[in-house]
Amino acid sequence: MKNLTCIIIMVIAAAGIFGTQSANAEQSGTPVIATTNPLEYFVAELCHGGAGALRYMSLLGEGEKQVFETNLLFVHRGVMLPKSGLGEHVHRFMEEMYITFDGNVRHTVNGHTSELPPGSMALCRMGSSHGMYNDTDKEVNYINIGVTKVKGKYDNVDFNDNLVDAKIESPAKFEWANFDRRLLKPASRAHLGKGDILFRRLLAKESFLTNWEFIDHCVLPPGTSIGYHQHNGIEEVYYLMSGSGRMTVNDVTRDVKAGDAIPCTLHDSHGLYNNSDKDIEILVIAVSMEKGVHRVTNWDDDLSGR
């Protein structure tokens, strides 16, 4: 798995935001909070035959950071240096998502290249060739998420194309999404939480060939919450893109902030409360044990008293 160091992946396994079914007994244990720390970044040069270098770290999924029972492989967080990127390559047992937070980035999928705006993600299905290139003079922050068809099985084939001279096409000829707040819709009392959050499902299970269930974009205004709930068919990760609040996992409540990734593994009870005076913006990615199976119980606790 040497080439894992050339991949930046963030996966979040989750169940649906609404609905209630039977649950198993609640888990216990101190919650894991993976914190983005640029001081821990290391340099990966010519990644997958790409130009320049990337700087990144593993947030979840490798070594002692492997906490998942689903086929979520890893979550990485890093930056693409100016005039740098990932060369074109393919995974035959894995699909992944590249998510860029700032700057226009050229994404290539199956030989088609388009420049996507800040806050975009390009879906790289299993068996689809893909890569990225930062043609700007600034660093671009990103996350890369990977989910395997066979648990723990990583593979790649590099095409030795750094994509620097790739022809730009518009509109994009591959599936992609953007964190456009104008497309968010109110969701009242999500998981019996407090108030109205804003919600949008960016990609649903039909988009994926693995047991990747969905990717959600949520904004929690001050004083609102995603209520305390439990999933017994999926795992999820909450990644805070901005803001700060209090995350409760298995009755342990911790302060969380932008750059934190919180895994909610199988049977964990969890929820998020915004106790600050600014919005929390989060990315939620879900992976299931069995595709389409979302056993969820809402505990009727909005977490405002925690």
* Whole-prediction pTM: 0.89
Alpha carbon distance 72, 138 (integer Å)? 31
- Cα separation values, 209 from 54, 120, 284, Å: 28, 21, 19
The predicted-structure confidence for 234-287, as pLDDT tens digits, reads as follows 999 999 999 999 999 999 999 999 999 999 999 999 999 999 999 999 999 999
Q: How many residues in total does the chain contain?
A: 306
Q: Which helix (H) or strand (E) holds 197?
A: strand 196-203
CATH topology of domain 181-298: Jelly Rolls (2.60.120)
Q: List pLDDT tens digits, range 149-175.
A: 999 999 999 999 999 999 999 999 999
**Predicted local distance difference test score (pLDDT) of residue 294:** 80
Kindly report, as residue ranges, where domains of CATH 2.60.120.10 are found in the chain: 2-178, 181-298
- Domain 2-178 superfamily per CATH: Jelly Rolls (2.60.120.10)
pLDDT level of residue 295 (50, 70, 90 thresholds):
confident
Instruction: Kindly tell me if the per-residue pLDDT of 18 is higher than 60.
Output: no
